[in-house]
Structure 1
Amino acid sequence: MLYSYTARSQQSCARSPLLSDTRTVSQNALDDALPNVTVSLSFDTLDGPVTIYRDEYGIPHVKATTVHDAFFGQGFATAQDRLFQMDHDRRWAYGRWAELAGESAVEQDVLMRKFQLRRSVERDYGAINAETRAMFEAYAEGVNGFIETTEALPVEYAILGESPEAWTAKDCLAVFKARHVLMGHMEAKLWRAKTVAALGAERAAELMPQYEKGGLLIVPPGAEYLGDNYDVLGGYVSGAEHVDGMADADSGSNNWAVHGSRTTSGKPLLAGDPHRPIETPSVYYQNHISCDEFDGMGLSFPGCPGFPHFGHNARVAWCVTHAAADYQDLYIESFRGGSSLHYEHKGSWKHAETHAEVIQVRGAEAVEVEVTTTHHGPIVVGEPSSGRAIAFKYTATDGPNMGLEALLMQLCSSSVDEMDAAMRGWVDPCNNYVFGDVEGDIAYLTRGKVPIRSMANAWLPVPGWTGEHEWEGFIPFEEMPRIRNPENGFIVTANNKQVDDDYPYYISVQYATEHRARRIYDRLAEMPNATVEDMGDVHAERVSIPALAYLKLLPGVEPADERSAEAQRVLLRWDGKMDVDAAAPAIFSAFRYHLDDTILRHLLGPLADYALSAGGRGAPHHVSLLKAHLVRMAETDDASWLPSGATWKSLNAEALGNAVEYLTDRIGNDMNEWTWGKIHQTNRPHWLSNAYSWAAELEGPAMPLGGDGDTPLAASYSHSDPFGIAGSSVARYIYDLSDWDNSRWIVPFGASGHPASAHFSDQSVHMGGRRFHPYDYSWIQIGVVRRS
């Protein structure tokens, strides 16, 4: 499919709404939204011919000669498949989503306006180098090339009677920021402030489990955590007086690399999967771009060029997990009014910058937002007029951020040395960066900027007026945790702790449990001659460590009735594998849910309802840590957190009975029908689902999945919505550095965001079945170049 382009004037694409909020979307409307992917066009901005080939899954392969044309092609192809998703992320970043979604989006838009991402984008764009600006500009030209020439727009525009605005180079920065601004520790610090205010510093500290002793570390591979953890109580006590009165104002991955000394081919294997909320279409976009300078393939964020997190070129491959690093701080500011707003800092009063912004709301009155900024950052919680409010300081928005200059350097790197050097300027998010090259080296780096400051900042919002909690630079790049070709022959990261406490800098107090990392590590340790197929088996690893722990306790439980006894027998015959078609995983999950619910409500008291129903990364992450700690307490028969008079045996018996009742009500009396897949299915909302009932018709198919949040085959659910999958693998990949064409990958739905496309959900059946799709990288394999 040849695309040779000439500029045309932009067409008017606005249309009248096709339907009301309650009518169905017609098939004709869906069909009319499909773009023409066989058309031949020309644009005078191109340096030469650009060809976009689409493989059997609709994945685009862009072949160009120059760097400019490669990114033009990437922008064009992405807009063909994902234009409305790109528009959503741009509006989300700028606090403009209510213009399409109405009042349901106002609260979100208010927060995003307060983050002031547009302002930081303007600053970043002025600071990045010319090569990076040219990359963004070429990508934007490609997006606009599609908008200007297409006769078919995504169906959402037709339904809403809207049309897309032109894409700008700055928008590429904005969508990347929007996808990461809520991945830091801001919400965790607000949640801790709430627990201190409600429960007191001592009780809040007791309920803050830290990384477990003996938990798996990343560096060096196989090392276990032996440190003493941080002084939680001290941090809570010192900050408690300042958070009083402020408390009521209100994602995970796996990856691993195996050295050639442990593979059949003698060359490295890299694999992994990012975990994010499931959405329609998926957050990541599979594509391939090639020119004389590079030949890269991987997963990109629609709206942003390159392959920031997952990809490879002809010589190196890279992948990430979230490092759980702490790079967001909250400062309680002390304000005074008068003719203008001022805030206190080190005994003097500084002028606070304020301005008003207006949010346009579809179908409702506009909303005015007052935005206030101090030298710490924008005010995101509270009102300055009350005298106290919280400012948000974040590496990605605090001063010029040139981190995305790394995107082009990644694509042009030829060795792990060059890859490591390319990450020197990376800012956000902080990642566990795992990479390898075709010469046989594998490496790990904690990439990103981590500020150096007082430990008080780690726990709670800190007073901004004292000057005692300012940032004092960043951890030097040369001293970031890293390793090259470890002796054991492989590297594993799964949001677990990077290093022991002898590391001289503070990175974080909050990590995922070791469960996923431990299962992956143990599986790889058993593979002296690993293959791509073996990596697929690791992806499919679904043995639950918590399940194995609780199963050891079940023989001592006295069931309340025969139905509970039957459920107990099913569990006692089980091997702990969270298989989609088995009943035991459903019984165990319902048992654990009710056990956790009883204990957590006792522990959290007045905060329980909020904690168990909240979204985001604050209370939910804390709840997951508490659940993991309960597993360890159950194993040692530690009853110190149990309600008065309760024992593990009594609570286990009660939870088992509640599980049987729950599954009977939900599925029926036949226990053989209680398969995990019947209750463990993906929630896959469209971005407009909260606003319009018809948006449900644009969602991808529900997928029953095995695994859960504690297994490498990840499919987690929130406590407030058992057992609908809230977060899961949003891509799986295996890179074979001995033969790129022997690599594998898959995403939850498909390449296209158009519901009428054959490639809207053609990968779903294999995603649920733990299978992978072939990975066509070489132009011979794609079919462009004939074999000799």
Structure 2
Amino acid sequence: MPWHTPRISRTAPDGVRTPRRIPEFLKAASVCALVAGLLSPLSPAAQAATANTKAAAATDTKAAAAAANDYCGGQCSDILPPGQNGNATLAQILLNQAFGSMPENASNQLGPYNNLAKGHTGLTNATINTFFNDASFGVASDQVASTLKPAGRTDVTIVRDKKTGVPHITGTTRYGTEFGAGYAAAQDRLWLMDVFRHVGRGKLTPFAGGAPSNQGLEQEFWRHAPYTEADLQAQIDKAVATNGDRGRQALGDVNAYIDGINAYIDASDSGRYFPGEYVLTGHKDSITNAGTIEKFKPTDLVALASVIGALFGSGGGGEVNNALSLLAAQEKYGVTEGTKVWESFRERNDPEAALTVHDGSFPYATKPADPQGMALPDNGAVTEEPLVYDRTGSAAGTASKGVSSKATDSALSSARRGMSNALVVGGKHTASGHPIAVFGPQTGYFAPQLLMLQEIQGPGLSARGASFAGLSMYVELGRGQDYAWSATTSGQDIIDAYAVELCQDDVHYLYHGTCTPMEKIEQTNAWKPTTADSTPAGSYRMQVWRTKYGPVTHRATVGGKKVAYTTLRSSYMNEAESIIGFQMLNDPDFVKGPDTFQKAVQNINYTFNWFYADSQHTAYYNSGDNPVRAAGVDAEFPAWARAPYEWRGWNPATNAADYTPPSEHPNSIDQDYYISWNNKQAKDYPSAPWGNGSVHRGNILDDRVKRLVAAGGVTRASLTKAMAEAALVDLRAEDVVPDLLKVVNSSPVTDSAAAAAVTKLQNWVASGSKRTETSAGSKTYADADAIRILDAWWPLLVKAEFEPGLGTKLYNAMTANLPVDESPSAAHGPTGSHAGSSFQYGWWSYVDKDMRAVLGESVQGPLGRKYCGDGTLSACRTLLINTLKEAAGKTAAQVYPGDESCSAGDQWCADAIIHRTLGGIKHGKISWQNRPTFQQVVEFTSHR
């Protein structure tokens, strides 16, 4: 959320004087409010000090019991910046904004996480926990920071450790355990949980104010999941009804978890230590304590789950854009040649792509030999369906189809397009003989973080790790007693677009021959100014038309017939189903090896790559409800909304269908090694995103892990170093610049400016192609000139290389499908600035294939033609030299123009990671590194 503030200067946590803002509300806040916040009757510190003393005596017993169930032998570690504590009182927020002070445990994991960027070079097994937390079960008695019996219950204890403040929840009953999990979640993330239950309902602005970023958040998610309260409840009912005892247990766990959340709301309200954002947004009065914090209910968790699923677990979509670029290619080259060109850029099954599963074929959503039911729009006929209407007040001047603020775009896309990765090596290649894994999800950098850490021990529950705030009744990514698991976003296609033929008017359509009314779902959001958000009062109405084939996204004509394009995903109306898989992962009586691990994640309907390691085995499984499409339907393009082209077995009342069986999902047990960085999963398993070709960031991991495996004797330290080194590599420099320089150097470079630039690039590539500081904390890059030159050169050379051959219309259509660049400083790229994640989306593969073709080298899966210099080596060389000279002549201020966080020309700052504020606490910048947010390093020494 935005905090509109004037600037003062202060000392940042890293010791650098930087501009700082005093919030507007600080000027108006009374001294009484500040004192009330500081001296509240039951502050969190006072609460911990007055916790049930009997619980403290049980701490050693709890630690011993946990240790007995811990088979990691002290070799499990994790990290999750910035810190465990995501709640702050009003006083703490005011002090942070004015002086940069931090609440306890709010930023204590940020420094170790950041330090790995330079500290990894000397890493040993003994120093791993300098950069990670010890993720062993339990808390030693001398490391106990607080012990609490929440709400005075005798069946659950929450112990927090001194180093991180992570909650270790131990219950003697299932209900008590889940109650404690809910209470601990609210202690650490109540405000964030409240924000995202409102985001999931498209109701953020009435809750937190009408700032453009808030409008963008609610519009983005409500557009894709416009659920009513009845829809949310129906999903709960279905999940319970279709999953027998486990479904009923899940509902019981949810209810206990919510009871714990609500108990904390009551306690923090009466004790006046609730998050200060409630005061700043007008929900509570800091003096009188008037106002309320709305209690949680089960449907809130479904709303939360819909946001998380949309961000990380819903691959596919984009069929209308695909159709537009195909039509542009056919217009340019003719139908046959244009289709060939389009397919070559799509790279839906590229033979040179890095794979996670090395053996076997897993055909899915492949290109049909004889496409059927395709509903391509007429040229120029497509319009996007508007979402927003009836703007008033501060909303009146915003584009009718929705807000697209820079802050919102970068915050959303940095999460959705995350850099989750995994490196897993089998025991026969390690020094110990036990498998080793370094893996984790990238959920973006937020303050507070979307994820939170916990340990949960109780009947049928035994795990430690990370969970999304508000969904932490189970650990979602972490470790059990003798196994660990993690995930990366897989992105296979579970979303299809349908063309519904309109009848009678624009809000009726043909369903199986009958003219059927669309369902209009709408809501009006109004807001008032708050002390946290100075946006004046305003309102607007959001409207979505729903069909049996999903919400309407576009209008068009197809062969002259008026149609509405809809989007249908298999997880739509099924957001609650995945709870069963996570329940199984936390159950030590269910997961006992790789086979049962795979069975557990088969119950997760979101699109993820799942990885597993224990002391003997490794495993992989690709989850998601992959719909069985009708024969001949091409998943890349819209299909007619007619019975022959529907998903097989599809029931529109429940959006259930026939799904491909587990054996047809990419899966493996005990492969020599696995890597994943959102790359292609397996042979013949097309990825939904564009750009999975010969150069992908997955290659950076694969090359390094392959070398380690070939040498043998892999250790936790060596595998962590491989990940950390890859996190600093510029993919373009390592895997594409050598091709470019081979063309440039095919004849002597006589131009002095070009020759100087070539030398700098060659030296950088020879030194490792990394974007790294000269020394820790220097905030100056080694090879700074080479980095600046490549950052300036890449967009220039791509445009010069491809636009003349493709033509402007087709080039623009292709870049709409896949942006050309995603360097760390490329604010114009899909991730935005300061987001960490880089090099997932770009034209690296296209440039690589084109350069090799021009050089006359072998290319599998080539582009439809040669593009650089019209395909001749000499002309291509001239093009590259001219664009290189232009790039080399650009100043740092031109390449890095500056923004609200960085001055123009500050290269390090342009790359730097900045946590997006979702509350009142802000954090300092850290150096760029391309790695997961939450990460584990695990090596189990024994098994049950």
Report the TM range for the smaller structure's normalisation: 0.7 to 0.9
- The residue matched to 2:352 in structure 1 has which SS? coil
Partner residue of 2:789 out of 587, 592, 616 = 587
Q: Distance in 1 between matches of 2:845 and 2:327?
A: 24
1:531 to 715, 726, 735: 715
Q: 1:185 to 1:389 in 2, by over 3 A?
A: farther
Counterpart among 283, 286, 290 of residue 450 in structure 2: 283
Change (3 A) 1:350 1:682: same
Matched, 1:568 2:758: yes
The residue number in structure 1 matching 2:310 is 181
Partner of 1:685: 916
Paired letter, 1:452: V
1:472-551 alignment to 2 at 5 Å?
Answer: 472=649, 473-486=658-671, 489-501=672-684, 508=688, 510=690, 512-513=692-693, 515-527=696-708, 528-542=712-726, 543=729, 544-551=734-741
C-alpha deviation, 1:442, in angstroms: 1.2
- Which of structures 1 and 2 has the bigger CA Rg? 2
1:731 to 934, 938, 944: 934
Match of 2:78 in 1: none
SS of the aligned residue for 1:102 comes to: coil
2:428 to 261, 266, 270: 261
Give the whole-Å Cα distance in 2 for the aligned partners of 1:518 and 1:566.
Answer: 29
Partner of 2:116: none
Q: Is the Cα–Cα contact under 8 Å of residues 18 and 158 in structure 1 kept in the other structure?
A: no
Counterpart AA for 2:469: P
Tell me which moved more, 507-516 or 651-660. Answer: 507-516
Counterparts in 2 of 1:591 and 1:494: CA distance versus 1, 3 Å: same
- Partner Cα distance (1:233, 1:675) in 2: 52
How far residue 533 of structure 1 moved from its aligned partner, in angstroms, is 0.2
Conserved? CA contact 1:324–1:511, under 8 Å: no
Residues 368-416 of structure 1, C-alpha deviations (whole Å, 9 max, x = no match): 33332221122244599x9532222111124585221111210112322
Contact 1:353 1:374 survives alignment (8 Å): yes
Report the equivalent of 2:130. none
Query: What's 1:445 paired with?
Result: 621
Contact 1:436 / 1:442 at 8 angstroms: preserved in 2? yes
1:158 maps to 2:279:
yes
Structure 2 counterparts to residues 408-487 of structure 1, below 5 A: 408-412=583-587, 413-428=591-606, 430-438=607-615, 440-454=616-630, 456-465=633-642, 467-472=644-649, 473-486=658-671
Alignment of 1:349 with 2:349, yes or no, is no
Match of 1:209 among 344, 347, 362: 347
Q: Secondary structure at the match of 1:331?
A: strand
Q: TM-score, normalised by structure 1?
A: 0.76
Distance 2:147 2:840 in 1: 52
Q: Distance in 2 between matches of 1:316 and 1:422?
A: 13
Equivalence for 2:579: 404
Q: Check whether the contact 2:477–2:485 (CA below 8 A) recurs between aligned residues.
A: yes
> Is contact 1:140-1:167 (8 Å) kept?
yes
Q: Secondary structure at the match of 1:526?
A: helix
**1:685 maps to amino acid:** R
SS at match of 1:58: coil
Answer whether contact 1:559 1:656 (CA < 8 A) is retained.
Answer: no
Preserved CA contact (<8 Å) 1:62 1:290: yes
Correspondence list, 1:79-94, <5 A: 79-94=186-201
- The equivalent residue for 2:21 is none
Q: Deviations over 1:434-473 (max 9, x none)?
A: 11233x1111111221011145341122221464233441
Secondary structure at the counterpart of residue 540 of structure 1: helix
Inter-partner Cα distance in structure 1 for 2:364 and 2:159: 55
How far 1:313 moved relative to its partner?
A: 0.8
Distance 1:521 1:95 in 2: 41
Cα pair 2:854 2:868 within 8 Å, conserved: no
**Counterparts of 2:351 and 2:183 in 1: how far apart (Å)?**
50
Q: Is the 8 A contact 2:608 2:624 kept in 1?
A: yes
> Is contact 2:89-2:274 (8 Å) kept?
no
Distance 1:300 1:228, change over 3 A: closer
Per the alignment, do residues 705 and 336 of structure 1 end up closer, same or farther by CA in structure 2, a change over 3 Å counting?
A: same
Task: Rate the CA distance shift 1:444–1:49 in 2: closer, same or farther, 3 A.
Answer: closer
CA distance in 2: counterparts of 1:59 and 1:65, whole angstroms: 20
Residue in structure 2 matched with residue 624 of structure 1 by the alignment: 841
The one-character-per-residue Cα deviations of 1:194-240 (angstroms, maximum 9, x if unpaired) are: 3245554626445423343232322235x8x9999955997699442
Q: 1:511 to 1:493 in 2, by over 3 A?
A: farther
Contact 1:680-1:704 within 8 A present in 2 as well = yes
Which has the larger displacement, 259-268 or 227-236? 227-236
CA contact (8 A) 2:182 2:260 kept: yes
Q: Which one of the candidate residues 797, 809, 812 is aligned to 1:608?
A: 812
Pair 1:394 & 2:569 matched: yes
Within-5 A mapping of 1:200-239: 200=331, 202=338, 204-205=342-343, 207-220=345-358, 231=367, 238-239=374-375
Q: Distance in 1 between matches of 2:840 and 2:327?
A: 18
Provide Cα deviations, 1:586-618, integer angstroms capped at 9, x if missing partner: 43333223322444555472473983557589x
Cα 1:559/1:238, change in 2 over 3 Å: farther
Query: Hey, what does 2:45 align to over in structure 1?
Result: none
Mapped partners of 1:260, 1:425: distance in 2: 28
1:171 to 295, 300, 304: 300
Which residue does the alignment assign to 1:721? none
**Which residue does the alignment assign to 2:893?**
665
Q: CA RMSD in A?
A: 4.3
- Cα deviations by residue, 1:652-691 (Å, 9 ceiling, x for unpaired): 22332233233443589xxxx9996354222432247xxx
* CA distance, structure 2, for counterparts of residue 19 and residue 437 of structure 1: 42
What is the one-letter code of the residue matched to 1:680?
A: D
Aligned equivalent of 1:303: 470
In structure 1, what is the Cα distance between the partners aligned to 2:319 and 2:475?
28
Question: Which residue number in structure 2 is paired with residue 641 of structure 1?
Answer: 867
| Preserved CA contact (<8 Å) 1:93 1:174 | yes
Q: Check whether the contact 1:297–1:307 (CA below 8 A) recurs between aligned residues.
A: no
Number of the residue aligned with 1:193: 323
The aligned residue for residue 124 of structure 1 is: 235
- CA displacement, residues 474-533 of structure 1 (integer Å, 9 cap, x when unaligned): 1012432221113xx2222232222323x7xx7757563463333323322333111110
CA contact (8 A) 2:210 2:538 kept: no
In 2, Cα distance between the equivalents of 1:600 and 1:57? 51
- Residues 1:171 and 1:33: Cα distance change in structure 2 (over 3 Å): farther
Q: Determine the C-alpha separation between the residues in 2 that align with 1:207 and 1:737.
A: 43
What is the aligned partner in structure 1 of residue 57 from structure 2? Answer: none
Identity percentage of aligned residues: 17
Match of 2:542 in 1: 369
Aligned residues: 685
Aligned to 2:927: 704
**Distance change in 2, residues 1:233/1:48 (3 Å):** same
Change (3 A) 1:30 1:367: farther
Contact 1:33–1:153 (8 Å) recurs in 2: no
Q: Is the 8 A contact 2:348 2:687 kept in 1?
A: no
In the alignment, is the contact (CA less than 8 A) between 2:385 and 2:552 conserved in 1? no
| Residue type at the aligned position of 1:174 | A
- Contact 1:220 1:483 (C-alpha < 8 Å) held by counterparts: no
Aligned pair in 2 of structure 1 residues 387, 297: CA closer, same or farther (>3 Å)? same
Where 2:320 maps in the other structure, the secondary structure is helix
Gap regions ≥5 residues in structure 1: 6-12, 689-694, 707-713, 715-727, 741-788
Distance in 1 of aligned mates of 2:538 and 2:377: 40
Q: TM-score, normalised by structure 2?
A: 0.64
Could you tell me whether the CA contact under 8 Å between 1:120 and 1:400 is conserved in 2?
no
